[in-house]
Structures are given as C-alpha cells and as structure tokens.
Structure 1
Amino acid sequence: MDQDFSIKPVKKLIYILNRYAKNSEEHFFHVINLLYEIADAGVEIALVIEKCKDDPQINHPNIQVIAQKKSGKISRPLELYSILNGLAKKGFSKVFIRISSFAALTAIAVSITGTLEVYYWHSGTVKEFNDSLPFGRKKIMNYLKSTLPFNLVKRFTTWFVTGPESMKAYYSDVCGVNASKILILYNDIDLKRFNRSDNKKALKQKLGIEESKKVILFVHRLSSVRKSLFYMPYILQEFYKGSFDNYIAIVIGDGGEKKELQDIVNKAGLQDKIKVMGGMPNNVIQEYYKTADIFINPTFTEGFPRVLIEAMAVGLPIITTNAGGIGDILGEKQLQFMVDKNDRDDFANKLKALASNNQMQKELSDENLTRVVRYSTEVVAQMYINIIFGN
C-alpha cells in the first residue's frame, strides 16, 4: 500500500487583543494563559496587541507578539491593516477579535480580498441600555462609537462568536445577527490560579481583613450600564438590618458609579461594614476571592460574566441576577439563588437566607467546584481549536 507523505496543513491563528497591561484590572490578563494552551496544541499564533502598556514576556515557540506602535484614530487602524495584510501573505487565514469592533472592521476590510476569515466575539445585553438613552449628545456619541460599528461588524464578519448558549437567541432575535453564522464559545478560567485556599487566615492578614469576619465579595465594574447604584448599597443595607454583624462586604471595581457609591456608604455610616476598594489588578484578584465566603453578582446587563466562573473556581456560593446568559452557567442548586434582575428585595432576602445557612453554602460550594471544570482553560482552548479549525 502506498504511504501518504502529504504534509498536514499548519494551523495558524491571528488573535487581536484590545489592550494589555501587567497590572490591568480587566480580564484581558486571562488571555495570555489561554493562548499558551492553544499554542501547546500545535497552533501557530500571531498575537496582535492594539494598546500595549507592558511587554507580556511571552516565551513560546508558537507565539509571536506584535505590539502596535501607532495610537492615532486613523494611524492605528491603518497600521493594523498593514499588519493583518502582511500576516495573510504568510499563510494566516483566520483572525479572532474579542469585543473591539474597530479592530474587527479593519480585519473585515482585509477579508474583502478573500484571504481572512473573521471570528468576532461579543457577549453582553447592552442593546436595551443603548436604546433607553434619551436623544441627545450622549446617545449620538454612543451610536457613533458603539452601535454603528457593532451593526457593521455583525453584518460583515464571517463568524459571530458568543457564549453561553442562550446568548445565541439574544443576538439573533434582539440584535438581528444572522443565526447561521453564530458560534458558541465559553470564557475560560485558570484553575491553577483560581482555587480554594487552605489558609484564609494568612490571606486575610495579608489583605488587612479582620480574621473573625466573614466576607461577602463583589467584583465588577460599577457602571450605569449594569445599574450598579440600583442594587448597591441597597441590597447590603437591607442585609445589615438583620443580625449579620459578623459579615463585612468588600466591593472591588472601578467605574463611573464608584465615587457615588462610596459617598452613599459614607453618608449612611456603613464604611466599617461595606469596604469600597476600587479597582484591583487582575493578577492578584484571586487572593480576595480566596478570603470570601459568599459572592454576589447584582447586574442588569450581562453576557458571560467571567467573575462568576472565578467565584465558582474558588468554591464560593453565589447570589446573582438573571441577566444575559447567567442561567446557562450555573448548576441546579445554584439556580435557586438567581433572582430577577428587577427585584433587588428578593436579592437581599436570598443573601440573608444564604448567610444564615452554612449547609446550603457548602452544597453550593461543592456544586460550583464540580461544574466549573467545564470552563477550565484546557477545555476552552480545545473549544477554540474545534470551532476555528473544525476538528
């Protein structure tokens, strides 16, 4: 029998990262670890960073880093076009873009020649917020900066990637994305970095948290899009009307509503119970998760919140609203602590009930630790390969 000496095509992927900084509060920090896992599987990756503050110090034979040097509104897209065109000539035919619609539009422009397939990832129920803005300068600027670019991308991208599963119906039915080109892809979590701590005492001492206190943790951007001030500090004020002086609440996150939240907390005299910490570098955020006892996620708009799988990986019981695709992420028991996003009183009541029930906390913790494995970096890296390269 004749042997087949044909060479298997090399898998090549361009990954466009919107920005990178070593001490960034954003979840882009996670991407590097994911790309290592994909590269370990034999994929050659060209990592293009639009805004690069620090050298990511990647040392992998299958990953090359291209940091853009231009910063102008016209010069940066032109530079990116040149980079993508050059990579296409070197055999790169697939480009993955996360969230950045302007990078996606640049990639789409290159794809007109037929040399690139564009995979654009987006997950978030923000259309209702955009539509609700009263007509005026803010709405016009939001349309030009966000809505119009998104509408162009959804029309012309080769593939529209989102997750979890229910977000496909949202983008198809609400946002008008062609359902036939929607692909499902999960966010990932590094289970080596996010895991249950055996020594809360030492971590609390390091972070200046009183050892005797139990911790309610919130991690997210504080913004009008998520209606942060609708939920907080109201939920926590209602919670502290009960006998829960053994709990403190730690609120981590920056954003437009952070200062106002701090002012409300101070005016209510709750600064000893509610600690508004501001933003925290993502590369150390796991330490706060590991000191916590309950995680809360009150939000009005959402897609696939990475903070939930971070909390699950550390074994935290969770109370959350039902925004976006959250219901797909959680297990059966944990879904009992998901409330309607309009009902902040139910949220407060669920928090009181969970804080009073140690057995339920343990059951939710065990369920989350088991379920979160499906979102591990190793599993999601294989999802990337299967979706993009079809094997």
Structure 2
Amino acid sequence: MITQGTDTHQYLNSPLRRGKILKAISRSAAVICRSGDLGRRLREAGAPPEKLRTVYNGVDLDIFQRRDRSAARAALGIAPDDAVLLFVGNLLPVKNPGMLVAALHQLNQARAIRGLRGAILNIIGTGPMERQLRHQAETLGLDGSIHFLGRQAPADVSQHMNAADVLCLASWNEGFPNVVLEAMACGLPVVSTDVGGIRERIDRPTRGLLVPAGEVPDFVAALNATLERGERVPQTEIPGDLSWAAAASAYADVLSPFGEGRKCHDPRG
C-alpha cells in the first residue's frame, strides 16, 4: 500500500474510512508513506509502526538541475534584477494560493517604502480558483505583477525554477509536494507553510524557510529575508537522494523481504 496525503489527512477523520484504512493496513505486508509525517499520522491512528516505511518520490534530474540563472532569465524575458516569486501547483483551496497574492501585496508595499521595485509572482498551474485569484490581484492593483502561466511542460517548469528567486507554497496541508524536491534539485530556495512532511527536507535556512499556515505577515518576512539573502541553495546542501534511481532503491529495500516465495494478498479481502 501507498499513502499519498489526502487519504491520510482527510479520510482518517471519518470513522468509517478510518476503520477501513486500518483494516487494509493490517492485511498489508508494508505501507509506503510519502513522508515521515504521513507515517506519524498513521501510527497515531493505530497502524502498526513496523509496517510503515517512508519513501520520497524521485525527481528527473536530467530535467530538474541547476542551470545558469542569467541564461534562464534571458530565455524567459525576465530582467536580471527582477525579484521573482514562483508558485507551481493546482489552484485549489487546499493550496491556499490567495495567501500568496496577499503576501505579494504586503511585500511590495514594504519594498516601495524602501525604494525597491516590486516583486513579481509567476503562477504555473490551473484550477477552479484562477478567476478568483485574478480578481484578487486586480483588486489589490497587482494584475501587472502576477503572471498566470497555465500548465507548463517539466522542462519549462525547470527553466522557471532556475530563473526565480524563491519557490512559494502556502498550503493548508500536504503529503510531500514533489515541487519542493524539484526546486531543491534546481538550487531554488523555498518559502513554505510548515505543513505535512515539508520540514523533513526544508530543514535548514540554506534550503528555505517555514512559517505557520495562514500567517501572512510571517510569510512576508520569510520572503523578504530570502530575497535579501539572494543566494541559491549551495550544491553541498542539495540532498544526494533526489533521483528516481534513489527512490527505486528505497522501494526495493521495502519490497525485497516480500519477494520470491511469498504469496501476494489482496488487502481488499
């Protein structure tokens, strides 16, 4: 079995689903958790700890890798001295993208007082909140500072990550978002709400900063600190186990005890 996020975050709150989840786990040889946080939640719900294994997703390192920032900006038409925030994800309430718009507004007000040009926010992704976000941006006078770029191919996402100054996530909850791993592979620092398993990788200031969910002033302060620092994640701070090969090896470690000679059992009964 694999737990991704919503199945643990939300379904455990339903007594009926909680019972079914725990029954399925009891019949499974092992449960792969996308983050240690998901494993913790299952343990607290009553799952046997010895069955829970944390295995992070991998990243295609042929696509997501550190590249020349100036070249990436030139290719995207971004000025060398622009302050660029990046969001990559679905525009859904759980991702709380409206907080990013509010944070940009406060950030740019503070930058204006200091005589600095306003930052821009590039949004990659689509979803049901897009119209609401466009209206929010227009109301706050940010329609020229926020660019809705829609869905992008992985290579284009990597290009934007290499051109940006910071990846921003304001989610209310997460399992472990792959976009954080992709940003790390590109050397892009992260400012995120402290939810799910994100702190398992963003565990030091050189990789990024975490703030409580929903706290716009704290988020703005973290953005400002990251922009002022103005540095990529040092190569020595990028984990060496981000590849899909590393993920496959971790899967093999979990599955190898249940290999030849073991009959597979359908946990559905």
Q: Could you tell me which of 72, 87, 112 is aligned with 1:218?
A: 87
Give 1:126 deviation, angstroms. 6.5
Q: Which residue of 1 aligns with 2:251?
A: 384
Q: Which runs of 5+ in 1 are unaligned?
A: 1-119, 133-138
Q: Which residue of 2 aligns with 1:124?
A: 5
How far apart in 2 are the matches of 1:376 and 1:224? 30
Aligned partners of 1:253 and 1:279 also within 8 Å: yes
Change (3 A) 1:221 1:149: farther
Q: Could you tell me which of 68, 84, 109 is aligned with 1:241?
A: 109
Structure 1's consecutive aligned runs of 4 or more residues displaced over 6 angstroms after TM superposition are 146-149
Q: Which residue of 1 aligns with 2:237?
A: 370
Give 1:158 deviation, angstroms. 3.4
Aligned partners of 1:187 and 1:380 also within 8 Å: yes
Q: Could you tell me which of 247, 253, 260 is aligned with 2:125?
A: 253
Counterpart secondary structure, 1:218: strand
Aligned partners of 1:212 and 1:246 also within 8 Å: no
Q: Could you tell me which of 286, 291, 299 is aligned with 2:158?
A: 286
Change (3 A) 1:153 1:275: farther
How far apart in 2 are the matches of 1:322 and 1:196? 25
Q: Which residue of 1 aligns with 2:61?
A: 191
Q: Per-residue displacement from partner, 1:108-132 (whole Å, max 9, x unpaired)?
A: xxxxxxxxxxxx2223267665689
Aligned partners of 2:194 and 2:211 also within 8 Å: yes
Give 1:161 deviation, angstroms. 0.8
Change (3 A) 1:129 1:268: farther
Counterpart secondary structure, 2:167: strand
Give 1:385 deviation, angstroms. 1.3
The letter of the residue matching 1:171 is: L
Q: Per-residue displacement from partner, 1:156-180 (whole Å, max 9, x unpaired)?
A: 4432210332321112214x43333
Give 1:223 deviation, angstroms. 1.0
Q: Per-residue displacement from partner, 1:86-113 (whole Å, max 9, x unpaired)?
A: xxxxxxxxxxxxxxxxxxxxxxxxxxxx
Q: Which runs of 5+ in 2 are unaligned?
A: 260-269
Matched, 1:166 2:37: yes
Matches within 5 A, 1:127-146: none
Aligned partners of 1:327 and 1:335 also within 8 Å: no
Counterpart secondary structure, 1:233: helix
Larger radius of gyration, structure 1 or 2?
1
Q: Per-residue displacement from partner, 1:255-299 (whole Å, max 9, x unpaired)?
A: 222221122112222121111222223353211111112111221
Q: Per-residue displacement from partner, 1:324-355 (whole Å, max 9, x unpaired)?
A: 11111123234772111132220111111221
TM-score (norm 2): 0.81
Percent identical: 23
How far apart in 2 are the matches of 1:294 and 1:162? 27
How far apart in 1 are the matches of 2:122 and 2:156? 15
Change (3 A) 1:240 1:157: same
Q: Which residue of 1 aligns with 2:100?
A: 232
Aligned partners of 2:104 and 2:119 also within 8 Å: no
Counterpart secondary structure, 2:73: helix
Q: Give the count of matched residue pairs.
A: 254
TM-score (norm 1): 0.58
How far apart in 2 are the matches of 1:162 and 1:128? 12
Q: Per-residue displacement from partner, 1:202-251 (whole Å, max 9, x unpaired)?
A: 4334334344423211112221223333x231111111112242532111
> Relative CO higher for 1 or 2, CA cutoff 8 Å, sep ≥ 6?
2
Counterpart secondary structure, 1:285: helix
Q: Which residue of 2 aligns with 1:182?
A: 52
Q: Quick check: which one's strand share is greater?
A: 1
Q: Which residue of 2 aligns with 1:309?
A: 181
Aligned partners of 2:190 and 2:208 also within 8 Å: no
Q: CA-atom RMSD, angstroms?
A: 3.0
Aligned partners of 1:123 and 1:303 also within 8 Å: yes
